[in-house]
Chain A
Amino acid sequence: MDNGDASSALTRRQLLHMIGATAGAGAMYQAMSSLGFAAESPYKGPIDLQGAPRNASVLILGAGMAGLTAAYELRNAGYKVQVLEYNARPGGRNWTLRGGDRYTELGGLTQQCEFDKDLYINPGPWRIPYHHHGMMHYIKLLGIPLEPFFQVNYNAYIHSSGAFGGKPQRYREVKADYQGHVAELLAKATRQKALDATVSAEDQQILLESLRQWGALDKNYRYAAGEQVSDRRGFEKKPGGGLSGEPVHSSPVALHDLLDSGVWAGIASGDAFDMQTALFQPAGGMGRIGEAFGRELGPLIRYNAKVTDIHQDDRGVTATYIDSQKAGAPQTARADWCLCTIPLPILAQIPMNVSQSMGAAISAVPSAPAIKAGLQFKRRFWEEDEQIYGGITYTDLPIMSIGYPNSGFQSRGKGVLLGAYIWGLKAMEFTAMPPQERVQRVVDYGSQIHPQYHQEFENGVAVAWHRVPFALGCFGSWTTETRAKHYEDLCQIEGRIALAGEHASHLGGWQEGAVTSALDAIGRMHRRAVAQGEKA
């Protein structure tokens, strides 16, 4: 790549810089939108737990996705299963807030969800990539209907508050223009022989033709207004029928304006492995999964149980718990084995006799901050006025994104959208505000993108994950360093106790991480139980 004369080298460098910048933006948006590593789920089909020792028992702490998955499989395998859950409902972070729900956060502030019937918000996970095979398996098993989740909507916006007079840009236009300009530049470099050292003459011909197709270039390899460009970025006046149907072509944004605006940073939002089509959402809310598991497991789950102590000896594990709703004497639950899925910031505060290394691992993983806000509006103006049906708008405002409902299209009456999905430092700051102020600010910021907000807004809820009593944060935030130092210690079975949850996975923040970590842990636990012939 370092051959060639100085002027073409400069061109190459500029190109590489651009491409590098795009990759960086892609990485940023992957991080912004995925909360996960681009790793294939290790799920390999239904778990085989044959040969469970007679009367062997497992105590499961936490009825989130990890605990529910484990309880379901262990029960089916013949183990005696008990689950202790802090909340009055199953699911944990698999959770949907619907009209009529009340939610009290840490600090005691209560929000009443005033959404209309059938309208909801998922404060936690909201999308399931098709390759999260474990999640897909249990959703099918439980008979939960799925709907498509639109990660990318070409008619949603990328918004940069300091660019284009603050006017949000359609994803379609940004993508087409960026791609077109890059294709034109690369074609120019090719034709100026700047790539001679790296691309053969034959390949250059193919490259030029592919750039023409990819970037919608004209016969002179220029990205210029015309039929093929409008066919990508949209028309000034769309083609129609009859005498009034003649289209008017649109004009691309100039390369400089596009680069300077920063909106290109949103182009790759659907390119990350976890964001690639198809994605799904359970009809009626993500919480349908936890609810279905809860029905399936029935009395095996003890609700309102706040675990205060976990103690193992050479024959079993005893958990002490109190009723989280009313005063009363501590009670205990005991089993041969324990699968503990309690989120790490909470577990770090519960006495448990495990090794120093596992204890250090439990204390080493902070929780990521995140906020989600659901807003109800009098009408679905994003559909009626702006033709945005589902998908996500990305913005550099503190709200970071707006998620449009992926169901109920064109329904009359009210609509609920995700008004903010915030993380990092800004999530910390939103967390420090009372819920109503969070909602108010989300509405104020969102109105910069959708001016209809102030006119149409009715009510909203804002869930700050560090204030969620059963979680103390959104998900386990590993770093390269902490993972290298502590991850294996965290995932060991120590005596009769094993941990599971998204924090014990390489799919941090994803429900698939919880499911696969639970299956991994109970598989190992089962083999130990069989080897020891527990209560045989």
Chain B
Amino acid sequence: MRRLLLLLSIAAAAGAYADSPLFTSRATLPSLSGEQIYEHICQGCHMAGGQGAVGAGHYPKLAADKNFISWQFVATTVLNGRNGMPPFGYPSGQDMQSGPAHLSDAQIADVVNYVRSHFGNTYKPQVTAKQIAALPHPAAELIGPQ
């Protein structure tokens, strides 16, 4: 079934928008860069330009965020989620269509570097996949029906 679903999602991803990585499937997700991950996933809540948004609650503004001085803070948030933000650090293979999306340590490093060096943030140095790998990740688990 895995193989079939993979084929199906590849077929879906190769649709009318060949110029764009939309829509991402489990097969194409690993090739997304930090910038693409931001634009196609993070931006849904944190908005273009990292502007955040306010309603009954709020999505934090990433532009000029002082917490970003700690790359560990940003990386831990992406890996494990925070206050309703979903974790993206689940082991590969747990990201069924229904479940959370899995990003590799290299991708998480890439997206951490992207948000810490954009939107008015000018933090250095660059974080590596190895540094991300050393942080706590969410536990492996099978995701039941939601």
Q: Could you list which residues of chain A lie within 8 angstroms of chain B, going by C-beta atoms?
A: 21, 24-25, 27-28, 30-32, 34-38, 86, 106-108, 160-162, 260, 262, 265, 306-307, 324, 342-350, 363, 365-369, 396-398, 423-426, 428-429, 431-432, 441, 444-445, 448, 464, 466-473, 475, 477-481, 508-509
Query: When the two chains form the complex, which single residue of B4, B95, B144 contacts A480, counting CB atoms closer than 8 Å?
Result: B144
Question: Within 8 Å of chain A (Cβ to Cβ): is B125?
Answer: no
Look across to chain B and name the residue whose beta carbon is closest to the beta carbon of A161: B11
| Interface membership of chain B positions 22-47, coded 1 if the CB is closer than 8 angstroms to chain A and 0 otherwise | 11110001000000000111111101
Instruction: Kindly identify which residue among A307, A366, A432, A475 contacts B86, using a CB–CB cutoff of 8 Å.
Output: A366
Bound: A480/B16 CA distance, A: 37
A396 CA / B97 CA spacing, docked (Å):
11
* Contact between A27 and B145, CB atoms less than 8 A apart: yes
Is A425 touching B56 in the complex (CB atoms < 8 A)? Answer: no
Alpha-carbon separation in the docked complex, A36 to B17 (Å): 33
A225 to B44, CA, bound (A): 51
Inter-subunit contact B97/A425 (CB<8 Å): yes
Whether the Cβ atoms of B15 and A469 lie closer than 8 Å is no
A31-B98, A397-B12 known; A470 and B145 CB under 8 Å? no
Max chain B Cβ within 10 angstroms of own Cβ: one of A161, A441, A473 = A161
Among the 9-residue stretches B63-71, B105-113, B114-122, B135-143, the one with 4 or more Cβ atoms under 8 Å from chain A is B135-143
Q: A24-B1, A106-B55, A306-B56 are in contact. Are A367 and B41 (CB under 8 A)?
A: no
Is A365 a contact of B8 with CB atoms below 8 Å? no
- Distance in Å: Cβ of B90 to nearest Cβ of chain A: 9
Q: Given A86-B56, A161-B15, A363-B83: A428 and B8 within 8 A (CB)?
A: no
Report the bound CA distance from A100 to B7 in whole Å: 42
Chain B 71-88 interface residues, beta-carbon cutoff 8 Å to A: 81-87
Most-contacted residue by chain B among A367, A464, A471, A479 (CB, 10 A): A479
- In the complex, what distance in Å separates the CA atom of A212 from the CA atom of B105? 54
- Report the Cα distance A30→B54, complex, angstroms: 34
**Given A34-B145, A398-B23, A429-B22; A469-B56 close (CB under 8 Å):** yes
Interface residues of chain B, those whose CB is within 8 Å of chain A, are 1, 4-5, 7-12, 15-17, 22-25, 29, 39-45, 47, 51, 53-59, 81-87, 95-101, 139, 141-146
The answer to whether A162 touches B7, judged by C-beta atoms less than 8 angstroms apart, is yes
Q: How far is the CA of A396 from the CA of B1 in the complex (A)?
A: 14
Taking CB atoms, residues of chain B closer than 8 Å to A34 are: 145
Q: How many A-B residue pairs have CB under 8 A?
A: 173
Q: Write the chain B residue with the least CB distance to A35.
A: B146
Select one of B15, B44, B97 contacting A466, CB under 8 A.
B44
Across-interface contacts of B95 in A (CB, < 8 A)? 425
- The reply to whether A32 and B85 form a contact with Cβ atoms under 8 Å apart is no
Q: Which residues of A contact B144 (CB under 8 A)?
A: 37, 479-480
Cβ of A481 and Cβ of B139 under 8 Å apart?
Answer: yes
Given A432-B39, A432-B43, A508-B146, residue A348 in contact with residue B7 (CB < 8 A): no
Main secondary structure of the interface of B (DSSP, over half): loop
Q: List 10 A-B contacts (CB under 8 A).
A: A35-B146, A36-B145, A107-B47, A162-B11, A363-B82, A424-B97, A424-B98, A426-B24, A466-B44, A509-B146
B56/A342 in contact, CB under 8 A: yes
CA distance A478 to B145 in the complex (A): 9
Give chain A residues whose Cβ lies under 8 Å from the Cβ of B86: 366-367, 369, 477
Nearest 6 CB-CB pairings of A with B: A345-B84, A469-B55, A431-B44, A162-B11, A346-B57, A106-B53
Q: Please, which residue of chain B has its CB at the minimum distance from the CB of A346?
A: B57
CB neighbours (8 Å) of B24 from chain A are 425-426, 429
| Residues on the A chain within 8 Å of B53, using CB | 106-108, 467
Known: A366-B87, A425-B24, A481-B141. 6 other contacts (CB 8 A): A34-B145, A161-B12, A398-B12, A426-B23, A429-B40, A444-B16
- Please indicate the chain A residues that have their CB under 8 angstroms from the CB of B40 in the complex: 428-429, 432
Shortest C-beta distance, A39 to chain B (Å), equals: 10
In the complex formed, the residue of A with least CB distance to B40 is A429
A429 to B145, CA, bound (A): 21
Cα(A480)–Cα(B45), bound, Å: 25
User: For B143, what are the chain A residues with a Cβ–Cβ distance below 8 Å?
Assistant: 479-480
Q: In the assembled complex, how far is the CB of residue A69 from the closest CB belonging to chain B, in whole angstroms?
A: 20
Q: Do B84 and A363 touch (CB < 8 A)? A: yes
Complex: how many Å from CA A343 to CA B83?
A: 11
From A365, A425, A468, A508, B84 is in contact (CB under 8 Å) with: A365
Q: Which residue of B lies closest to A342 (CB)?
A: B56
Question: Within the complex, what minimum Cβ distance (angstroms) separates A222 from chain B?
Answer: 26
Instruction: State in angstroms the CA–CA spacing of A16 and B5 once bound together.
Output: 19
B114 to chain A, nearest CB (A): 15
Of B15, B55, B59, B84, most A-chain CB atoms within 10 Å: B84
Q: Which residue of B lies closest to A371 (CB)?
A: B44
